[in-house]
Chain A
């Protein structure tokens, strides 16, 4: 699959991404200095609760956020297949321009949470799958149809000739999401952004769809950015995990490290609040007290301060929390590790 060298160069690096939304009399800092990399052929999980900015972050990679969003920072994309895109800052491209359109659907594809509303009810699924094939791969309708039929077959939709001419309302939820996957992967993208791809599906269907995505990832050698709030899916799918809270990435580590050695109090809380198989049925499931504050007029304190059980008064509420390197691949944004890390020499 991948050699060790190109495992090192990231396909996508997000650097100091900031997204703010101007509201009536204040500015909402929805994403506040996010940084991460996605390596070739790997899956990065972006996990966090609703409103933490994970969807905005993932959509900014394709410049799909609404006009009201002001985006700053860099999203550097390094395409292998496309010479024109060997090193571009996506945020420099004009959102409606030709360059951006040649990235969308061709190099980077997206799957959305709600397959019913993400597909148009007015066109056959064949029409909608062929749409991007006809833009990016071939002008020949017959050939495009063949590619679409192959894709339907690949995502496990049988009787594809008949299904091709059916409308989204004739499909079940899981089948619709398969159609979305077929659509997203029909032009062999290098990066797939899956924004809560299974949230709207039954648990049994979730597993099937995840399995399908994993298989296709191997086939097509693509990277995945998986946005979810479901740690179970993270554990199953991802190579690396970035935990987001209130517009910031608070902890980032390989998946095993996150589950075995979580550092940030928020990550720990998340993992504790997962139901465990074979656990004591009478034990109350733990939860993190409180709710996410709104990211308006944020002072320098840690965003998790109000909900944190291990907060250090006079420190966590007084200054911006820097990123501490736990080890080569594990970093955390929390003052608890200040001394430890300094001793270890990783600052």
Chain B
């Protein structure tokens, strides 16, 4: 098992090299670069940059070189000095921009994920056991609505109700008095209050989807002969349900863990813009718009790493859940 994990981690390296090259290639594809973006901004303010100024700026930022050379310079910085480049628009190192938003991004993502699993799995099990009952139809309808409603719309609706009922649209993650205050219990409470809407908005779609997956899996498993065998041994129904179908139904849920992780990170972008959340999504969005290539590249690379790590985690979990996979690993 240990060997398997080591080998999987080693395999991650070539994957990441390929991904980083593709990422960099894609980022420099759109016409123009940060300098043209910058010049356009300047001219909007009434100052015109001369061609010579622009060329000088390009040379300074290494933007005049071939993208392959730029890529290697970027990689060299990352590997040797853990320097992910410079964010043009923030005018500071990429790492410090990401640092600033990382903690809150992680909190929002992880809590949303926990919400998704904690709500979806029990509802999936319940609706499978009570297939075609009123509650099954109710949750199915709710689930389809959740999948079909665009996140930003839900966000606006919830903000509206929050404003009408509590006099506060709960924008952002903190009330203004806590924004720059040091951490305290009151600040945490304020944060938790502000997280309710984002979590519901970001988590609804994936919760609805996961509920359907779980329900389908459970329906498959509930009718398997091994459930009848357990029943024929006199095992109580509740124990049968947990030990046999639920455990087996978790396999596909666990195997999608990999992309759920990065989905929640990126999926929250529009919601975060609407709700004014200080998390990575909007930062990334602006970086792409502003041709802030190192910030965008680092972010995309980070997403790739997250997906790869997520897949690794789900593979390890699968091996832990499924003895057949474990045997195959031993055989390798």
Residue numbers of A with Cβ under 8 A of B are 62, 64, 96, 101-106, 109-110, 112, 114, 117-124, 131-132, 135-136, 167, 169-170, 180, 183
Q: How far is the CB of B331 from chain A (nearest CB, A)?
A: 11
CB of B232 within 8 A of CB of A136, answer no
Which residues of chain B come closer than 8 Å to A122, judged between CB atoms? 244, 247-248, 321-323
What are 21 inter-chain pairs, A to B, with CB distance below 8 A?
A: A96-B237, A104-B231, A109-B232, A112-B228, A114-B225, A118-B228, A119-B229, A120-B230, A120-B244, A120-B248, A121-B324, A122-B247, A122-B248, A124-B323, A131-B235, A132-B233, A135-B233, A167-B323, A169-B324, A169-B327, A180-B229
CB of A135 within 8 A of CB of B234, answer yes
B65 sits at the interface (CB 8 A): no
Q: Which residue of A lies closest to B250 (CB)?
A: A122
CB of A104 within 8 A of CB of B244, answer no
Q: How far is the CB of A321 from chain B (nearest CB, A)?
A: 34
CB-based closest 9 A-B pairs: A105-B233, A132-B233, A105-B234, A104-B234, A120-B226, A101-B234, A117-B225, A110-B232, A167-B323
Chain B interface residue count, Cβ-Cβ cutoff 8 angstroms: 22
Which residues of chain B come closer than 8 Å to A167, judged between CB atoms? 323-324, 327
Q: Which of B231, B232, B243, B244: most chain A Cβ within 10 A? A: B232
Q: Which residue of A lies closest to B224 (CB)?
A: A117
How far apart sit A346 and B226, CA to CA, in the bound complex (Å)?
A: 46
Residue numbers of B with Cβ under 8 A of A are 224-226, 228-237, 243-244, 247-248, 321-324, 327
A102-B327 in contact given A112-B225, A119-B226, A120-B244 (Cβ < 8 Å): no
Q: How far is the CB of A12 from chain B (nearest CB, A)?
A: 16
How far apart sit A124 and B324, CA to CA, in the bound complex (Å)?
A: 11
CB of A117 within 8 A of CB of B323, answer no
Q: Which residue of B lies closest to A120 (CB)?
A: B226
Which residues of chain A come closer than 8 Å to B321, judged between CB atoms? 122
CB of B229 within 8 A of CB of A112, answer yes
Q: How far is the CB of A128 from chain B (nearest CB, A)?
A: 8
Q: How far is the CB of B164 from chain A (nearest CB, A)?
A: 46
How far apart sit A169 and B244, CA to CA, in the bound complex (Å)?
A: 16
Which residues of chain A come closer than 8 Å to B224, judged between CB atoms? 117
- One of A114, A117, A123, A183 near B233 (C-beta < 8 A): A183
How far apart sit A169 and B248, CA to CA, in the bound complex (Å)?
A: 15
- One of A102, A106, A118, A124 near B225 (C-beta < 8 A): A118
Q: How far is the CB of B10 from chain A (nearest CB, A)?
A: 28
Which residues of chain A come closer than 8 Å to B228, judged between CB atoms? 64, 112, 118
Known: A96-B237, A104-B231, A118-B228. 7 other contacts (CB 8 A): A114-B225, A117-B224, A118-B229, A120-B230, A121-B322, A131-B230, A131-B233
Which residues of chain B come closer than 8 Å to A96, judged between CB atoms? 236-237
Q: Which of B231, B234, B324: most chain A Cβ within 10 A? A: B234
Which residues of chain A come closer than 8 Å to B327, judged between CB atoms? 167, 169-170
Q: Which of B228, B236, B244: most chain A Cβ within 10 A? A: B228
Q: How far is the CB of B180 from chain A (nearest CB, A)?
A: 52
Q: Which residue of A lies closest to B322 (CB)?
A: A122
Q: How far is the CB of A149 from chain B (nearest CB, A)?
A: 18
Q: Which residue of B lies closest to A121 (CB)?
A: B324
Which residues of chain A come closer than 8 Å to B225, judged between CB atoms? 112, 114, 117-118
Which residues of chain B come closer than 8 Å to A180, judged between CB atoms? 229
CB of A135 within 8 A of CB of B235, answer yes
Which residues of chain A come closer than 8 Å to B229, judged between CB atoms? 110, 112, 118-120, 180, 183
Q: How far is the CB of A148 from chain B (nearest CB, A)?
A: 13
Q: How far is the CB of A290 from chain B (nearest CB, A)?
A: 31
Q: Which residue of B lies closest to A98 (CB)?
A: B236
Q: How far is the CB of A195 from chain B (nearest CB, A)?
A: 10
Q: Which residue of B lies closest to A136 (CB)?
A: B234
CB of A64 within 8 A of CB of B323, answer no
How far apart sit A119 and B234, CA to CA, in the bound complex (Å)?
A: 15
How far apart sit A121 and B243, CA to CA, in the bound complex (Å)?
A: 12
Which residues of chain B come closer than 8 Å to A117, judged between CB atoms? 224-226
Which residues of chain B come closer than 8 Å to A131, judged between CB atoms? 230, 233, 235
How far apart sit A96 and B235, CA to CA, in the bound complex (Å)?
A: 9
Q: How far is the CB of B184 from chain A (nearest CB, A)?
A: 47
How far apart sit A183 and B234, CA to CA, in the bound complex (Å)?
A: 12
A64-B248 in contact given A117-B225, A121-B323 (Cβ < 8 Å): no
